[in-house]
Amino acid sequence: MDIGVPHEQPEQAPVAATPQSVERLVSLGHTVHVERGVGARARIPDDDYREAGADLVDAEAAWGCDVVLAAHTPSNRELGLMRHGATLISRLDPARRPGLLENLRACGLTALAVDAVPRLSRAQAMDVLSSQANLAGYRAVIEAAAHLGRPLGGQVTAAGKFAPARVYVIGAGVAGLAGIGAARSLGAVVRGTDVRPEVAEQVESMGASFVPLPAAQKESAAQEESRDGYATQMAADQAAAAAALYAEEAAQADVVITTAAVPGRRAPLLLGRKAIEGMRPGSVVIDMAAGTGGNTELTVPGRVVTTESGVAVVGFTDLASRLPLQSSLLYSQNLVNLLDLMTPAKDGTIVLDLDDEVIRTVTVCHAGEILWPPPPVSVSAAPSAADEPAAERPGELGEHGEHGEPGAAEEPDAQDRSRRRRVVLGLAATVLAAVLVLITPTAATSHYIVLALSIILGFHVISNVTPALHTPLMSVTNAISGIILLGAISQVGNADTRIAAVAFVAIVLATINVFGGFAVTHRMLAMFRKG
C-alpha cells in the first residue's frame, strides 16, 4: 500500500517518518512516498530517505496516497488533497475537536488518532503521548535552567559555595518523572506531588522527596484515576486543598514544573496569580500544560510571561519538538508499531480490525461514520464486579460446566498443589528425622535437637528482618548463617575444647557473613536511590 509522509507545519518538529521507520515500512510490504525536505528541521537529508527505500515526491503526491502519516492535525486545505476512502494516521485530539471529526467524515476518510492510544500493556509501543511526554519532561528542566540563570546543582569552590536549586514537580506521570530524573541528574533538590499516592515510591526511586496531598485528598485518591489509566478532574474541595499545598511548596522552590492534564478537557488550574507572586524573585514556572489551557493563571501559550516580582512563567507548547531528531525517532517508531499491528500478513495490505481494542480506540472515523468516543477500555488495577473470583459468583459456568475464566479456576488449583507439596515435604522431613534419631547413638541424639532448634530459630530471626534491608539472595544466605550462628552459640560452652573452638570460629564467620551481607546490600540499594 502507498504511504505518504507530507511536510509538517513550520512549528512542528516531529517527523512522521525517519529513514529507520521507512526501512521497517518497506519490510512490511508498503511503498513509502516522502515529501522533499520533510526532515529538514530534524536534520535528516533527503538522500537518507532515498537510501532507505522511499520515493521523494511533492506535497500533492504525498497527501494523495492511500495512507497518510502526519504529526500535526491537518488543515481543511490538506484534507482536501486526500483521496476519498484514504486513511489518515495523525495526532487529532478528537475529544476537543468535534468539528475536525465532522470534516473527516465529510471527506470520506478513515482517521486514526494516535494520541488516543489506550494505556494497555501491549499498546505501550504505540503510545505517542508517553514517548513525547518523556522528552518534554526532560526539555522542561533544560528550559528551566536556561531561564533560572543559575546552576541547578550546588557547588563548593575556593571562592565560596552555593546550595543546589529547589525544584518542585506537580504531577508524577511520564513527563513529571522524566523531569524529576533530569533535575536530579543536574544536582537539584527535587520534590514531587501527585494525586495518586501509589506513585510515591516511583518519585522516591528517582531520588526526589514525595509531598503527599492533604488527608482529605488521600481519602479520595482512588477516585483520582479513571479506569482508562488517565487522571480525572478533581472535586472543588479537593482542588482547593491541593492548591494551598502547591502554593506553599512553590514559595520555597526555585523552579516549579506543572504537568497536570485531563484528556479531552481544559488543564486544571493549579497555581493562581497570588501563588506565583508569592514565589521568590527570579523563580521559574514551566507550565507543560500550556497547550490545553495551562496550569497557572498567568500562562500564555507559546510565550514567557515575567511578573513584576521577576517570576518567569514559561508556556512553551513545543517542548518535545525542541528535540527534533529524538522526537521524530520516537514518534515515527510509534506509527510503525501501529502499522505493524495493522499489517498482519506483512504483505503491504492494511487490515482495519475494529474488533481489536487498540485499533478500535484510535479509529475516530470510518466508512462515513464518526466512531468517537470509543467503547471504554478498563486498564485500572482496581477490582470490579467482573474481576471477582468465579467461586464468589455461583451459577456463572462455562460451556462445559467449568468457570468461564480459566485463570479463576487455575489459581486455587495451583494453591492447593502448593499446599499439598508443603505437607508432603514436611511429613517426609519428619520421617527422615525420626529415622536418623533411631539409628544414631544415644550420645549424639542431643546434636539433632540443637540442629532442629537452630534451623527454626535461624529462619525465624532472619525472616523478620525488613525486606528493604536485603535482597532475596542475601536473605537466604543470611538465614543459613543464622542457623550456623545459633547452633554455634549453643555449643561454644561445650566441655570438649575442640568443639568449643570450632563453635567459636563458626560464630565469627557467620557474624561476618551476616553483617557483611547487610553492608553490601545497603551499598547496592544506595546506588539505585541515587539514580
Across 308-318, average pLDDT: 96
| Percentage of residues in the chain having pLDDT higher than 70 | 78
Would you say residue 395 has pLDDT above 70? no
Q: Which of 486, 523, 524, 522 is nearest to 506 (CA)?
A: 486
Query: Which amino acid is located at 496 in the chain?
Result: D
In 222-359 the beta strands, taken as DSSP E runs, fall at 255-258, 284-287, 304-306, 312-314
Helical pair 128-148 and 324-342, crossing angle rounded to 10 deg: 170
Confidence of residue 506 (pLDDT cuts 50, 70, 90): confident
Residue 176 in this model has a pLDDT that exceeds 50:
yes
**Topology, domain 134-318:** Rossmann fold (3.40.50)
Q: Which whole number is the average pLDDT over 35-44? A: 93
Q: Is the pLDDT of residue 411 over 70?
A: no
Lowest mean pLDDT among 109-113, 393-397, 492-496: 393-397
Average pLDDT over all residues of the chain: 84
The answer on pLDDT for 519 being more than 60 is: yes
Residue 251 above 70 pLDDT?
A: yes
pLDDT at residue 428 in the model: 82
- pLDDT greater than 60 at residue 99: yes
Answer whether residue 289 shows pLDDT above 80. Answer: yes
Phi first, then psi, for residue 169 (nearest 5°) are: -110, 125
d(CA 64, CA 45): 23
Model pLDDT, residue 432: 76
Longest dimension (CA), the chain: 100
| Predicted pLDDT of residue 528 | 57
Closest CA to 334 of 102, 54, 130: 130
pLDDT score for 404: 40
Residue 468 has which C-alpha cell? 528493604
Residue 457's pLDDT is 65
Reported as a pLDDT band with limits 50, 70 and 90, residue 185 is very high
Top-ranked range on mean pLDDT: pick from 72-81, 455-464, 495-504, 513-522: 72-81
Residue 228 pLDDT: 54
Instruction: Identify whether the C-beta of residue 260 lies closer than 8 Å to the C-beta of residue 289.
Output: yes
pLDDT of residue 487: 76
| 2-116+324-370 fold | Rossmann fold (3.40.50)
pLDDT value of position 29: 97
Cell of 277: 507572586
pLDDT for 379: 60
DSSP secondary structure code for residue 474 in this structure: H
Strand partners, 524: none
How high is the pLDDT of residue 263? 78
What's the pLDDT score for residue 385?
44
367: left (phi over 0), alpha (psi -120 to 50) or beta: left
How do strand 312-314 and strand 304-306 relate by DSSP bridges? antiparallel
pLDDT confidence tier of residue 240, bands split at 50, 70 and 90: confident
Helix axes 19-27, 324-342, angle to 10 degrees: 10
pLDDT at 479 exceeding the cut of 90: no
Q: Which pLDDT score is estimated for 221?
A: 44
Residue 216 has pLDDT above 60, yes or no: no
Handedness of CA 498, 504, 509, 513 (dihedral sign): positive
For 62-86, letters b (16+ CB in 10 Å) and e give: bbbbbbbbbbbbbeeebbebbeeeb
- The pLDDT of residue 500 is 84
The band of 493, judged by pLDDT with boundaries at 50, 70 and 90, is confident
For residue 486, pLDDT beyond 80: no
Catalytic residues: 119, 124, 127, 130, 230
The answer on pLDDT for 355 being more than 50 is yes
pLDDT band at 389 (very low <50, low <70, confident <90, very high): very low
55-98: pLDDT as tens digits: 999 999 999 999 999 999 999 999 999 999 999 999 999 998 99
Which of the pair, 424 or 49, is modelled with greater confidence? 49
**How many other CB atoms are there within 10 angstroms of residue 217's CB atom?**
21
Residue, of 431 and 275, whose pLDDT is higher: 275
DSSP 354: T
Instruction: Please calculate the CA angle 487-426-454 and round it to the nearest 5 degrees.
Output: 10
Among 137-151, 351-365, 473-487, 511-525, which stretch is predicted with the lowest mean pLDDT?
473-487
Q: Which is higher by pLDDT, 486 or 77?
A: 77
